[in-house]
Structure 1
Amino acid sequence: MATTDVTWTRANARRLARQGLTAPKAPDLDSPAQVAGAMLGAHAQVLSAAELSVALRLPAGTTRTDLREALWADRALTKTYGPRGTVHLLPTADLPMWTGALSSVPAGPNPWREDVRMTPEQTDEVVAAIRDALAGEPLTVDELTDAIVDRTGPWAGDRVMEAFQDKWPRWRQAAHTAAHRGALAFGPNRGRKVTYTGPGVTPMDGRPAVEALVRQYLHAYGPATPAHFAQWLAAPKAWAGGVFKDLAAAGRIEEVAFDGTAAWVASGDGAFPDAAPPPGVRLLAYFDAYVIACRPRERLFAGDAYGRALGGGQAGNFPVVLVDGTVAGVWHQRRSGGRITVTVEPIGTALDSVRARTELAAEVGRVAEALEGRAELTVGRVAVGPHA
């Protein structure tokens, strides 16, 4: 039975602090890799959005150049397929856990037509070919295709996958699987061409890796339910329910009452602040990890924010303004030379005060600094639609 009653206000205060979204910053969040670890990955389908998500959680003066050095020079970050099969920046040191956990998640229904899909044996063959081909220098997709075909046969290179008014070779349906098994990650672009590289990682055993991921998830976003975890990870709900049941039986997680609903935290991590989040205005980029993972969503996107700041009910399609820990606006930035014009559309009245407008201007300045430009703030309607 749940013994601790955690309110949304207390949970939100702890989540914000652990995400580096309050002042003063947590002392252990002083590098891009540490911030990405606290977020459980920065969504990087649009790399500039991931750079901004991480930079805005670090001290003033952090720029996109610092993020790119951490990614491509220091290799403290790795760009790869993470939760939900989407591209993320993950701490390189955490890749054994991530690959061990992600490769343990049961596969869902195969979305490809029968004449397109690969058998499990073919998938294994392609992953082995990718691992071998990427043991050396990074390869473009065309170079990797040739290397895979050389190692498997022409069937792997058949251009049968519908993709963006083009057709991709058959093997690419296994790209996520290869990344989750530790055989593939993204390398630095070669001109405008994406490259892939071997991350050189050995996945942890599945059971301890999944446990470690659950506990990290609950540390960042708890209290949470198995259904929350399943949705965040894009995993089967029944599988997630079994994982939580086993961890509870082993004493690794414990139940609490979260606004009257049964939820879970990592064992020994049941302390929550007594006060509301400290006041403050923060700008979050497209698909920021905080808005993706925080539940219940109707509390984070309260009132009119639920209709305005969610794209068809999906979080992350609009960059959002947080005021005192809840969504109070959407925003968009446009670059022209060195000028970064940020348009902010308030939702409700939370941005009406002098204090909020002063903090908003400062936050816009941080966005421009992170993007290595000059700030210009406009308050008005954001005409740009949700990100696809």
Structure 2
Amino acid sequence: MLPDLVDSLVPSLIELRRDLHRNPELGFSEFRTTKRIAEALETHGLPFTIRDAGTGGWLELGAGDRLVAYRADIDALPLEEESRLPFRSEVPGVMHACGHDAHTAIGVGVAATLAKRGDLPGRVRFLFQPAEEVFPGGAESMLEERLLDDVERIIAMHVDPALETGSIGLKPGPVTSSSDRFTVVFRGPGGHTSRPHESPDTIFAAGKVITEMEGLLSRHIDTRTPIAVAFGAVHGGEAANVIPAAVSLTGTVRVASLELWETIGELFVDLIHRIVAPTGVQADITYEKGLGPVNNDPEVVWAVERGASEVLEAHCVRSTYTSMGAEDFSVFSSRVPATLVRLGCKIEGHKTTLHSARFELNEDAIRVGTLVGAAAVLELLGA
């Protein structure tokens, strides 16, 4: 029954996805996108509540005490599209390079499929979330608006261009990492390079942090725990013969452990001070906690797997990996049992990655995502 319902929707879902792709909008500016979602749902007789801010919204289906949620993110990225798609972005400097246009279409498809099926053994709340790509993002806003209240479990999907179209990827435990940011400003009196023994060297101190941090972390953290520290920018100095009075260093810290995420900032700051201490340079450190890792609840994973196995062949339900990227679905997964499902969208013979100006996806994934999403919701509700 579900495959027939989904198949009847696929042409309109692809049309919706292409319209959104052609007209992408950045986080918290998805006004047109939100109106298109409302229009698409209204064609199926589904009332959509738009947030007071005008971007994103929600609807609820079914009746009863049990309540699960399905989240679809809707925003685009600040990139100039370089694909040759006939429906490529018409907005300069903005494109759907992370598949949120497909996520949105799939969310509409899951809602329409379940509405047409009817007889739901509970309620499902659909959250069309703005601003996943910014921090703080739309998940926090929806949480503050109490849209997660009474939700027992929540699921979401994310396209994966490395996974074959027709397949999904699941794993219990961490499926994405955290993402924190830091800035270190190394300060000294400055001086002449001919007398480095008379002036604490800010560039030398920054270099020590860059080269020694990884080794020190490996002596404080279990090496089986995924962690990635990257330095994204170094600024300092203007002349070859002057030791600068200030050098700045910025970067990110990512870990795939919720427990480690709670303490990594304190450890990181302490290690910087230890590294810099012998140089005589002062280190002013700003450490900003960002998003935590998405932790997939085992019971929700198994429920999604059971539902997916009803509509996909066994070999299409696969084990997946932990990404060192971050996702603000973690705002939800840290509060209620949740699962983020990877959805294969690979185009054979075409190598592409998320957040690339040449990103493309196989639109057959929209059918698969809608089918799996509907089946998973029904399984979570005990149908």
Q: TM-score, normalised by structure 2?
A: 0.27
Greater RCO, 1 or 2 (C-alpha within 8 Å, sep 6+): 2
Q: Which structure's residues are more often strand, by fraction? A: 2
Q: Which structure's residues are more often helix, by fraction? A: 1
Structure number with larger C-alpha Rg: 2
Q: TM-score, normalised by structure 1?
A: 0.27
